[in-house]
Chain A
């Protein structure tokens, strides 16, 4: 049976085989994991269990439980002074992944261009393609993986519809100060480009306060803000995220969502409510722990010659592996086979990133220490 040209054309991830290799091996120290090493805080898990005991097993409103949308709206207002109406401007989704897919399908007409600063999270390009758009990657390597106004402007033309802006960034951990964001927003406003702002790691920003894109002057009407519970509350498996934006976009997204997903699992939504009500303390505790690991791993990586900038957020470092003389995939394969340490090749996040690997420090301190000493041994061979 022949499948559609569109899907046929989609590039499967080039490093699938490497992933299979990792999954088939035992006793590996993995710094290749894109999720917290904490389990969901107990109060949140308990709320999920209680909701089942009380018999909450039905569908919810397509947009998501009203009380969850209300909690999201209050959270954004109290923490960042951004106002979104829970009735029309907030949609609860199966993680940010679904929300991003919905947004792209909602805004793209055939051959509209979507800018993607790279290295970037793996799904942005393929989702853009599936929605009929053309991904335009903006290589940020020369600027320390930061999108600069100049680099941004260079890539804009009259077919540019939007930009997928992810900060703190997976895989680099790079984030932006208010000043830097204002400059970027000026250019986007000037060209009337929609900002799809993926801020799933926003709570994990270490050196300064995270500034949500819609909180910038004049930005809200041209922004869809994405966030969720996976990273800050260690709730990856629950699959709950949300999108906030102008009501015409949210209502378009809701149309697709109601036919494809119907609604997010009610147990997950109930647990997410609890996360917003009582989970703050756990977020702060986890953040302090990540911050300490960050200092430790960055210092360690630079000492063994895997130079990298200090990431401002998330739990990733994106060091250069030039010193090894190897390309990213062979570096990762050799490191895995010889020292049993798993990292993700940089090329997973864009084909230009042959000289990098992604290292996740969402791993215990003992693991990080041991992994550093194994990598050091590997490099001095």
Chain B
């Protein structure tokens, strides 16, 4: 992977000027490359990773992982029905996977009722959906490579040879 992407994936706020210094390149060159990545869709978005458990006055959000069994359609396989599913705003992630079921759908809702009504009234009723199994998420430990715990203090002694 291009080092520019590696740096931005770790910290999206790193400025093109700082990246240029780190990689010994011209800031303009870095800016152009980032633009190119944005245009090509390699870089899709710059987001902040939050630990929502610590966000005060945040409405609690409930997450569920839903295994979905599907009857594939002629010519388009799973893609068409997947599109119908992931277009719902309640769906935060959607993957086609190998194994005993076909789609893994991650759904977010305000509470157990919103999630279950989404499953019962929308997802299960779709043509080609043969069955679903819903798992409610109880606790998040790590997400997208980030451990959701207070950063440990640096344990090094402040000065050494």
Residues on A with beta carbons closer than 8 Å to the beta carbon of B22:
292-293, 295-296
How many residues on the A side are at the interface (Cβ–Cβ under 8 A)?
28
The verdict on B39 contacting chain A, using a C-beta distance below 8 Å, is: no
Q: How far is the CB of A236 from chain B (nearest CB, A)?
A: 8
CA distance A344 to B14 in the complex (A): 28
Chain A residues 262-313 with CB under 8 Å of chain B are: 288, 292-293, 295-296, 299-300
Q: Which residue of B lies closest to A21 (CB)?
A: B159
Residues on B with beta carbons closer than 8 Å to the beta carbon of A288:
3, 6
The verdict on B161 contacting chain A, using a C-beta distance below 8 Å, is: yes
Evaluate contact between A348 and B18: CB separation under 8 angstroms.
no
Residue-wise interface mask of B (121-161) relative to A, using a CB-CB cutoff of 8 A (1 in contact, 0 not): 00000000000000000000000000000000011111111
CA distance A348 to B161 in the complex (A): 9
The verdict on B24 contacting chain A, using a C-beta distance below 8 Å, is: yes
Evaluate contact between A35 and B23: CB separation under 8 angstroms.
no
Q: Which residue of A lies closest to B24 (CB)?
A: A295
Option from B21, B156, B159 in Cβ contact (under 8 Å) with A344 = B159
CA distance A369 to B159 in the complex (A): 19
User: Which one of B6, B11, B161 has the greatest number of beta carbons of chain A within 10 Å?
Assistant: B161
CA distance A303 to B160 in the complex (A): 26
Option from B6, B23, B161 in Cβ contact (under 8 Å) with A121 = B161
Evaluate contact between B21 and A23: CB separation under 8 angstroms.
no
Q: How far is the CB of A97 from chain B (nearest CB, A)?
A: 10
Q: How far is the CB of A169 from chain B (nearest CB, A)?
A: 13
The verdict on A338 contacting chain B, using a C-beta distance below 8 Å, is: no
Chain A residues 18-51 with CB under 8 Å of chain B are: 19, 22-23, 25, 28, 30, 32-35, 37, 39
Q: How far is the CB of B87 from chain A (nearest CB, A)?
A: 37
Evaluate contact between B158 and A30: CB separation under 8 angstroms.
yes
The verdict on A375 contacting chain B, using a C-beta distance below 8 Å, is: no
The verdict on A91 contacting chain B, using a C-beta distance below 8 Å, is: no
Given A37-B154, A369-B18: A292 and B159 within 8 A (CB)?
A: no
Evaluate contact between B156 and A33: CB separation under 8 angstroms.
yes
Option from B7, B11, B156 in Cβ contact (under 8 Å) with A35 = B156
CA distance A365 to B154 in the complex (A): 15
Evaluate contact between A295 and B159: CB separation under 8 angstroms.
no
Option from A37, A122, A342 in Cβ contact (under 8 Å) with B161 = A122
CA distance A235 to B90 in the complex (A): 45
Q: Which residue of A lies closest to B156 (CB)?
A: A33
Evaluate contact between A23 and B161: CB separation under 8 angstroms.
no
Q: Which residue of A lies closest to B154 (CB)?
A: A37
The verdict on A170 contacting chain B, using a C-beta distance below 8 Å, is: yes
Option from B14, B23, B154, B156 in Cβ contact (under 8 Å) with A295 = B23
Q: How far is the CB of A116 from chain B (nearest CB, A)?
A: 15
Evaluate contact between B158 and A300: CB separation under 8 angstroms.
no
CA distance A348 to B159 in the complex (A): 12
Evaluate contact between A299 and B21: CB separation under 8 angstroms.
yes
Q: Which residue of B lies closest to A18 (CB)?
A: B159
Residue-wise interface mask of B (1-33) relative to A, using a CB-CB cutoff of 8 A (1 in contact, 0 not): 001001100010010001001111000000000
Q: How far is the CB of A177 from chain B (nearest CB, A)?
A: 20
Evaluate contact between B18 and A34: CB separation under 8 angstroms.
no
Evaluate contact between B18 and A32: CB separation under 8 angstroms.
no
Residues on B with beta carbons closer than 8 Å to the beta carbon of A35:
156, 160
Q: How far is the CB of A340 from chain B (nearest CB, A)?
A: 11
Evaluate contact between B18 and A296: CB separation under 8 angstroms.
yes
CA distance A288 to B155 in the complex (A): 23
Evaluate contact between A22 and B158: CB separation under 8 angstroms.
yes
Evaluate contact between A344 and B157: CB separation under 8 angstroms.
no
Residues on A with beta carbons closer than 8 Å to the beta carbon of B14:
365
Residues on A with beta carbons closer than 8 Å to the beta carbon of B159:
19, 22-23, 30, 32-33, 342, 344
Residue-wise interface mask of A (354-378) relative to B, using a CB-CB cutoff of 8 A (1 in contact, 0 not): 0000000000010001000000000
Chain B residues 86-133 with CB under 8 Å of chain A are: none
Q: Can you list 21 A-B pairs, Cβ within 8 angstroms, ordered by A?
A: A22-B158, A23-B157, A30-B159, A32-B158, A32-B159, A33-B156, A33-B157, A34-B160, A35-B160, A37-B154, A37-B156, A121-B161, A123-B161, A288-B3, A292-B23, A295-B22, A296-B21, A296-B22, A299-B21, A300-B21, A365-B11
Binding site for B on A (CB under 8 A): 19, 22-23, 25, 28, 30, 32-35, 37, 39, 121-123, 170, 288, 292-293, 295-296, 299-300, 342, 344, 348, 365, 369
Binding site for A on B (CB under 8 A): 3, 6-7, 11, 14, 18, 21-24, 154-161
> Other CB < 8 Å A-B pairs besides A35-B156, A295-B21, A344-B159, 19 of them?
A19-B159, A22-B159, A23-B157, A23-B158, A23-B159, A25-B158, A32-B160, A33-B159, A34-B161, A35-B160, A37-B156, A39-B155, A123-B161, A299-B21, A299-B24, A344-B161, A348-B161, A365-B11, A369-B18
